Chains A and B, each alone.
Chain A
């Protein structure tokens, strides 16, 4: 958690959000000035217009297509090992742009805050968003704040939308996987899901799992330099690796064959899954991308990925086959196969 002493002192220190902070008057203005405008520190936001404005000419220098995305963040708890809701809200939206081949540029930030929320924590979260945005090379350019009565929201919800620009050369689509392609992942699966289960503290697990929450745009920009023609790419967040691969298999009408022994899962994540009856393939990640590329591109690509800090543990976990169409199949390592389907509802722990 960010040390409050390292942040600029505000007149709100030690205070809580009241309904007045969302009422549109002076209290709200003060909060916006001291916490948001000062915290995000971007030229567009400082103008305090009702909208951020961009020069089209600057955008079109970067590519031919504009990419836009939005995501809501409602994680509980707000602070967890290796991250917080603010870091998540920036990386999540940056990653959604980046996996489409876009260079992420600008984010918006909408916050729904429950009455009584600690303004110190709010300042910490804003600082975390700012630090993460800086590390991704994006700016938070406009925002909105609403305060709702106690009980009408759970502490803090954040929405971020983002825009970025896609270069002419890239054409990443879920329906472009072809037989013979290989499936690459940039590291261990399930870290975020396991860290959240642990941080909820209901289970008193003694593990050291840290979320994998990290921006992927730096890694992806290196990948696109050596392999502009990535066929499919998504980040595996909710629903995990299994869900993304099912989406690829269905959209592309191909089969995806995985090798269980090659999918990287940390010991402690496996442990959490064993105890709770969960499957790491369905656990959430916040800094993992799955790319499908032509086999001939894969070795060069893998080398470049492994040299990037966000891709040190990158590896090939499977390949694409013609049939059975729309299916993801896992070779269990025992000579048997198992079908990896989409999750139905929530992943529920088994009784025994």
Chain B
């Protein structure tokens, strides 16, 4: 497959791994603990596990799998809201596939579908808009979730609905923002990260500059990273070079996709449709200021939250969950008291066990066990 296989070349991977090992060896004498590198994005987590990249890294480098899996961090209360919307008789509720299994306090969307709600999986919000055109007597709601990566597509769909005067389409907006979330992780007192692999597809939309504060204010090196295995290894090498040179700058490894200034038309659509919420509730991380967006008043007609009565109840995470500590790299998934026992992919208790992109699910599915000391 062109433009994909080039970035999965095993020989080049070996060369990069060797170079990474060389730098890691030079860094080792000055270390008191392993270097902790966070990949923020669930897409990166997926690649890291799919290609076994963690096992290829030297022992003094530790990957911390960040909170960037939108499905994982969806709070139970919001899933309950989805179920409540979906169970209205006039509604066709549409969603991306992997949100179907996320447990709510009573049921998941998959269970609600089995119980009779009209819930359909779509691959794009435009598919949902199509359903609205074809079913003028029904209310079609699209479950908008994801970071800045998926935001432009939902914003553009709303704008398209407005242009066509489609009145039976609305968006249940649960979009979240990257930068405030990284800031919250950095501000956490038990944070001990040494560098970031930054989300390439978020950067494709917002550009390089919004990440500057991480390098300037927090002095953490950062590399905007692509999603193929060589991208990850290459970025890791770039990050280690910065760490060795005691630098902290924003570098762009994913320059084949990410323009430094981001995507103008996409950003325009975002600012037209969305505004920042004062705070947004995260599963595992609690409430984070300015970490979500809602639809502006001008688009109230397309906002499921304003159009329908949404219970909007806050449901606390199960007490035994330690997702927050895993996300911040304070503990490894297997250190959690309920990892693999009460909490497993078939019956996820915590956020990180929900999607295959969540760190705990990835550890569990790949049979990772605690390395003995």
Residue positions of A touching B, CB distance < 8 A:
202-203, 261, 267, 270-271, 274, 276-277, 324, 327, 332-339, 341, 344-345, 348-352
Contacts and interface: CB of A to CB of B under 8 A. Distances in A.
Nearest to B46: A350
A274 B146 contact: no
18 contacts: A267-B1, A270-B1, A274-B4, A324-B367, A332-B51, A333-B10, A333-B51, A334-B51, A336-B52, A338-B50, A339-B365, A345-B101, A348-B101, A349-B98, A350-B46, A352-B70, A352-B147, A352-B150
A335 B13 CA distance: 9
B299 interface: no
Interface stretch (B53-61, B189-197, B289-297): B53-61
A339 B53 contact: no
| Across the A-B interface, the 8 shortest Cβ-Cβ residue pairs | A336-B52, A348-B97, A349-B97, A339-B367, A351-B96, A336-B55, A339-B366, A332-B52
Interface centre among A338, A344, A351 (most CB of B within 10 A): A351
Given A202-B123, A348-B121, A352-B201, 11 more contacts: A274-B1, A324-B367, A333-B51, A334-B13, A334-B229, A336-B52, A350-B98, A351-B70, A351-B150, A352-B43, A352-B147
Nearest to B145: A351
B178 interface: no
Interface in B36-86: 42-43, 46, 49-56, 70-71
Nearest to A203: B123
Contacts of B70: 351-352
Contacts of A350: 46, 97-98, 355-357
Given A333-B10, A351-B98, A344 B346 contact: yes
B1 A349 contact: no
Contacts of B10: 261, 333-335
B149 interface: yes
Interface centre among B4, B17, B54, B366 (most CB of A within 10 A): B366
Interface in B210-230: 229
B100 interface: yes
Nearest to A267: B1
Contacts of A324: 367
Contact of B49 (A270, A333, A338): A338
A211 B83 CA distance: 37
B34 interface: no
B180 to A, nearest CB: 19
Interface string B339-361: 00000011000000001110000
Interface string B1-28: 1001000101001100100000000000
Nearest to A268: B1
A210 to B, nearest CB: 19
Nearest to B54: A336
Nearest to A324: B367
Contacts of A349: 96-98, 121, 123
B127 interface: yes
A341 B365 contact: yes
Given A339-B367, A348-B100, A332 B50 contact: yes
Interface string B122-164: 0100010000000000000000011101100000000000000
A339 B50 CA distance: 9
Contact of A351 (B52, B71, B101): B71
B54 to A, nearest CB: 7
Contacts of B13: 334-335
B356 A334 contact: no
B99 interface: yes
Interface centre among A271, A327, A352 (most CB of B within 10 A): A352
B345 to A, nearest CB: 5
B110 interface: yes
Nearest to A276: B123
A345 B110 contact: yes
B226 to A, nearest CB: 13
A270 B55 CA distance: 25
Nearest to B346: A344
B349 to A, nearest CB: 15
A348 B96 CA distance: 9
A152 B296 CA distance: 44
A344 B110 CA distance: 13
A332 B9 CA distance: 12
A127 B353 CA distance: 48
A337 B55 contact: yes
Contacts of B123: 202-203, 276, 349
Contact of A336 (B43, B56, B357, B365): B56
Contacts of B50: 332, 338
A352 B355 CA distance: 12
Contact of A334 (B43, B52, B110, B355): B52
Contacts of B53: 334, 336
A334 B48 CA distance: 11
Contacts of A261: 10
B51 A202 contact: no
Contacts of B366: 338-339
A3 B70 CA distance: 49
Interface centre among A203, A276, A349 (most CB of B within 10 A): A349
A63 B8 CA distance: 50
Contacts of B49: 338
Contacts of A338: 49-52, 366
B130 to A, nearest CB: 10
Contacts of A345: 101, 110
Contacts of B146: 351-352
Nearest to B149: A352
Interface centre among A203, A336, A338 (most CB of B within 10 A): A336
Contact of B99 (A271, A341, A351): A351
Contacts of B365: 339, 341
Contacts of A276: 123
Nearest to B348: A344
A196 to B, nearest CB: 15
A36 to B, nearest CB: 35
Interface centre among B52, B55, B150, B367 (most CB of A within 10 A): B52
Nearest to B127: A202
A349 B345 CA distance: 16
A324 B367 CA distance: 10
Contacts of A270: 1
Contact of B17 (A271, A335, A341): A335
